[in-house]
Amino acid sequence: MNAFGRRLAILSLFSLFLFSSTALATTVLAIDYGSDYIKASLIKPGMPFDVILDKDSKRKIRSSVAWKNGERLFGQDAFNLATRFPKDSYNSLKYLLGMPANADIISYYTSFAPPDVAPSTRFTAAVRRGSSTAARESGAVPATWDVEELVAMQLAYVRALAVDVAGPGERVQDVVVTVPAFFSQFERDAIADAVELAGLRLLALVNDGSAVAVNYAMTRQFPQRERHIVYDAGAASTRATVVTFAGQGKKQDTTLLTVNGVGYDRVAGGTELDRRMREILVEEFEHKHGVRIRDDPKAMMKLWKEAERLKAILSANNEASSRVESVYNDIDFSMKVTRQVFESACADMKVRFVQPMYEALDNANLTLADIDSVILTGGATRIPMVRAALAAVVGEEKLAMNVNSDEAAVLGAALHGATLSRQFRTKNIKLSDIAPYDVQVSYLAEAKSTDASDAPPRTITSLAFAKGSRTGTRKTLTFRRKNDFSLAFSYKSPPASEIPVEMLDARISGVAEALANITEADGIDPVIKVTILFSESGFVSVPEAIAYAEMKDDSLAGKLKGLFGDGPSAEDGSTSTVDSSASSSPPKTTKAPATPKDITVPLNVTVKFPSVAPMGLEQKREARQRLIKMEAEEAAIAAREEQRNILEGYLYKLRDLLESDSQHPFVTHSQEPERRAISRQLKDVSSWFHTHADNAQTKDFIEKRSSLEALERPIVHRIKEIEEFPQALNMSQMWNWRTRLFLTEALDNLTAEERAGTTGRYTKVELDELEKTLKEHETWLNERVEKQKSVPMNRDPVIDTGEMRKRAKVLETQLQRLSQKKPPRVRPSSSSKTQVPLPTDEPESGGGQGKHDEL
Ligand SMILES: *[C@@H]1O[C@H](CO)[C@@H](O)[C@H](O)[C@H]1NC(C)=O
Ligand SMILES: *[C@@H]1O[C@H](CO)[C@@H](O)[C@H](O)[C@H]1NC(C)=O
Ligand SMILES: *[C@@H]1O[C@H](CO)[C@@H](O)[C@H](O)[C@H]1NC(C)=O
Ligand SMILES: *[C@@H]1O[C@H](CO)[C@@H](O)[C@H](O)[C@H]1NC(C)=O
Ligand SMILES: *[C@@H]1O[C@H](CO)[C@@H](O)[C@H](O)[C@H]1NC(C)=O
């Protein structure tokens, strides 16, 4: 099946399942945030399920934001700017998300990306603003951008594209974002913060390999268990995910996706190959022209773009010619690159592209023999060298190209989001993912009172979530403590070089007070229970801590009665009753427990970030305000531009109208003084426009246009009225004629009925009323039409088509009401067969029925 066929299949299948199950209109946005390209998809009931197009109708959006003289650009425009304003065009930011400023990946990033990286206030990597970035911003602006803020701008841009697709008034808020499985807590926090800054609400993060698996499962059934490796070689990294697919239920209506293992390489990807390719070009240039260009960001970006282009050409050809004008000091560059030269420059990368696959299998305790196929996705899998390296180890026949290598992740993420939001009926796909790293928890052993006081307390460390733990795992840790204590969560080993292991410290406080309360309530043997969670989105957190005890047996019966009320006579259960009757005062904060003999007192959990901290509340608020302000300013500028253009166009139009020949409606429907007035005002506004347009405000443009429109309006009105008059007249006359016809017939019938002594369908009063309305209408119409005959075309008409329609409608309504009236009921004595047939083909109306019944 080709890509198009596949998409159709997805569409038709999906539309079967996809409808909102609630009245609440809802959408889910899915974003595959890549280092080079963003792919996005919007799920909305009644709308085809597809990716969102960029402004230039491309199916992928360049991950880029840039400034040009204070103007913000996105997508390909922003990327293209890098060759002219290299420090104002921010690309490949995914490398920097959640990274400390000293991480190895930072020096890697700066080896190919021009912006300078500096530590943020949180010591994460931030990028320095170029000169153009802050051009329009006033006041104190930070010297660097937090990466989260720049990514948020891109997400907000995607959101705006989604709003365009969804239609006005549609809320686009809930979002699912893909991340590489290897993303640490820090990286996940960073993307989550970016989502928040963009004004979106994070429904979930989903590992991109798992999202591809969801996409794969979308159109397939699994009566037999299948096991595949989702192999994704993207721009920034390569990931391999071993996934087991199994159908469940009698009808196979549920599909279980179980991730068994992941492997990755944080650098093997398209960008590294671009870097190698550029190195070939740079070396050739410097060698040929004897100049050093490595320190010139513009030259380096020109060759970067060229390297990307050549890499793509060499994926399909054995040779590519490079020509770049004015790379440096007006020196043009040309070179031939063969695939062989390129591949030998990347020779060491082959093994790195394959390694993640072995690692994933290893982590899953499986071998290649256990795998049905390797599902290829990601742009770099189109590179022959990568394909060949994979084929060499798994065999060409196991390489599967059965998902869209660019869009599978985002489409899978969208379906995953639809499932999570529960607002849609979707194919039931249950995803169970895993932890990529060992997470351990450490705490100080409680000092025993018998210990020598100077002995340092022992630190106890244990695995909280082992690598391979399921997402959504919740555990309860139980402690015997008398005082507040802390739990330190950390990675057992660094997720990447120079990434710290310390993740978060959770301080459990209020212990002593809670224990005192438990003792007072006759609880025995109290313990502290701390709930820890490895969430579906891959975050480690401490959702809850409590002090817990069971009550003493001997007092149980009495206490139960006092504390929790005694069954049906529930009014006794109120705390005030307890307070006065119980001998000891009970813990007020005690929740009504599941079994009455439990006592549960909530404890405080305070989380601190010992290494890489997510953005603080205040910082997020400021950044969000900054973005909102920026967007508002841009919207204001766009609105001003629009009004300026409208006025300019209007000036041209009026000038043309004034110059048109004597047969033109504008001339025939206007008087000389009117045209002169317009001409004078046009001259004024035009000269104002030429001298002031650059500094004028939106409202000035609107005011100037209004002043001209006011003068033109009577003429426009005349033209429109005279154009519409014949039809309006036809309409009015038609209703006169129809009413007359009806009346004649009905009066004849009435006469006949009176003569026969039967009850007719209409009363005399009704018919007289109609006739009165008709006569009034006829008189009004005739008078006005007669008057209008002597009004010249360039004067305001005395008859208004709007009023004509309104008056004709009055007549029409009255006529309709009568003609829809039901005939009189036939006496019950007569057979139902002889019932008078309905006089009109109109359905009976409630009003007519009611009126008749009263008769
Ligand atoms: C893989 O095998 C090892 C050793 O037999 C075992 O400790 C580990 O739990 C297994 N892992 C999985 C994911 O089954
Ligand atoms: C628990 O937190 C609340 C709210 O932040 C605070 O008022 C209270 O003093 C804290 N209790 C303890 C024992 O720390
Ligand atoms: C302990 O009991 C006291 C007195 O009833 C109450 O004010 C306090 O909130 C309780 N503390 C906790 C942690 O439940
Ligand atoms: C008037 O309306 C009738 C019926 O809609 C149409 O056939 C006729 O051409 C119209 N005449 C004019 C002058 O619009
Ligand atoms: C007049 O009577 C005839 C015969 O009963 C009927 O078909 C027609 O609809 C009546 N017309 C009106 C306007 O009531």
Ligand nearest to the CA of 435: 1
Q: What is the CA angle 256-258-260, rounded to 5?
A: 165
Work out the pLDDT band at 582, boundaries 50, 70, 90.
very low
The rounded Å distance from CA 290 to ligand 1 centre is: 58
Quote the pLDDT of residue 588.
39
Work out the pLDDT band at 830, boundaries 50, 70, 90.
very low
Task: Supply the DSSP symbol for 264.
Answer: E
- The 10 Å Cβ neighbour count of residue 291 is 13
The residue among 302 and 598 whose pLDDT is bigger is 302
pLDDT at residue 346 is higher than 70: yes
The rounded Å distance from CA 365 to ligand 1 centre is: 6
The packing angle between helices 764-789 and 698-756, to 10°, is 140
Ligand nearest to the CA of 588: 3
The CB of 365 under 6 Å from ligand 1? The reply is: yes
Which residue's CA is the closest to the ligand 5 atom numbered 12?
Answer: 746
The residue among 289 and 580 whose pLDDT is bigger is 289
Burial call 725-764: b when 16+ CB within 10 Å, e when fewer: beebbebbeebbeebeebbeebeeebeeeeeeeeebbbee
CA distances for 75 relative to 82, 105, 157, angstroms? 12, 24, 9
pLDDT at residue 6 is higher than 80: no
The rounded Å distance from CA 730 to ligand 4 centre is: 6
The CB of 384 under 6 Å from ligand 3? The reply is: no
In 18-94, alpha helices (H)? 75-80
Quote the pLDDT of residue 844.
39
| Range of lowest pLDDT (120-129, 561-570, 733-742) | 561-570
pLDDT at residue 434 is higher than 70: yes
Q: What is the pTM of this model?
A: 0.81
pLDDT at residue 763 is higher than 60: yes
The rounded Å distance from CA 604 to ligand 2 centre is: 6
> What is the per-residue pLDDT across 202-243, written as a single tens digit (0 to 9) for each?
999 999 999 999 999 999 999 999 999 999 999 999 999 999
Q: Which domains does the chain have, with CATH numbers?
A: 3-269+350-432 (3.30.420.40), 439-615 (no CATH), 625-819 (1.20.1270.10)
Work out the pLDDT band at 83, boundaries 50, 70, 90.
very high
- Residues framing ligand 5 (Cβ under 6 A): 742, 745-746, 749, 761, 839
Quote the pLDDT of residue 137.
57
Quote the pLDDT of residue 554.
56
Ligand nearest to the CA of 467: 1
Q: Which atom of ligand 3 is nearest to the CA of 603?
A: 13
The highest-confidence range among 293-302, 422-431, 572-581, by mean pLDDT, is 293-302
* Average pLDDT score over the chain: 88
Quote the pLDDT of residue 47.
85
Q: What is the CA angle 33-93-156, rounded to 5?
A: 55
Q: Which atom of ligand 1 is nearest to the CA of 365?
A: 1
Ligand nearest to the CA of 728: 4
> What is the per-residue pLDDT across 145-197, written as a single tens digit (0 to 9) for each?
999 999 999 999 999 999 999 987 788 999 999 999 999 999 999 999 999 99
The rounded Å distance from CA 552 to ligand 2 centre is: 28
Q: What is the mean pLDDT of residues 326-337?
A: 96
> What is the per-residue pLDDT across 27-72, written as a single tens digit (0 to 9) for each?
999 999 999 999 999 999 888 889 999 999 999 999 999 999 888 9
Q: What is the mean pLDDT of residues 363-391?
A: 97
Work out the pLDDT band at 837, boundaries 50, 70, 90.
very low
Say if residues 570 and 581 touch (Cβ distance below 8 Å). Answer: no
How far is the C-alpha of 82 from the C-alpha of 72, rounded, in Å?
13
Quote the pLDDT of residue 143.
85
Q: Which atom of ligand 4 is nearest to the CA of 727?
A: 14
Query: The tokens 């009346």 sit on which residue?
Result: 743
Work out the pLDDT band at 587, boundaries 50, 70, 90.
very low
The CB of 604 under 6 Å from ligand 3? The reply is: no
pLDDT at residue 431 is higher than 90: yes
Quote the pLDDT of residue 456.
78
| Range of lowest pLDDT (135-149, 493-507, 752-766) | 135-149
> What is the per-residue pLDDT across 245-276, written as a single tens digit (0 to 9) for each?
999 988 888 999 999 999 999 999 999 999 99
**Best of 738, 740, 744, 745 to mutate for ligand 5, by most ligand atoms within 8 A of CB?**
745
- How much of the chain exceeds pLDDT 70, in percent? 86
Work out the pLDDT band at 840, boundaries 50, 70, 90.
very low
The rounded Å distance from CA 824 to ligand 5 centre is: 13
Reading the block at residue 537, the tokens are 């989105």
Q: What is the mean pLDDT of residues 623-632?
A: 94
**Best of 242, 363, 365, 465 to mutate for ligand 1, by most ligand atoms within 8 A of CB?**
365
The rounded Å distance from CA 531 to ligand 2 centre is: 18
pLDDT at residue 448 is higher than 90: no
pLDDT at residue 12 is higher than 90: no
Work out the pLDDT band at 13, boundaries 50, 70, 90.
very low
The rounded Å distance from CA 514 to ligand 3 centre is: 7
How far is the C-alpha of 107 from the C-alpha of 115, rounded, in Å?
12
The DSSP string of 162-227 is HHHHH-TT----EEEEEE-TT--HHHHHHHHHHHHHTT-EEEEEEEHHHHHHHHHHHT---SS-EE
pLDDT at residue 19 is higher than 70: no
pLDDT at residue 586 is higher than 70: no
Reading the block at residue 784, the tokens are 């006005």
**Best of 485, 509, 606 to mutate for ligand 2, by most ligand atoms within 8 A of CB?**
509
Cα end-to-end distance, the chain, whole Å: 72
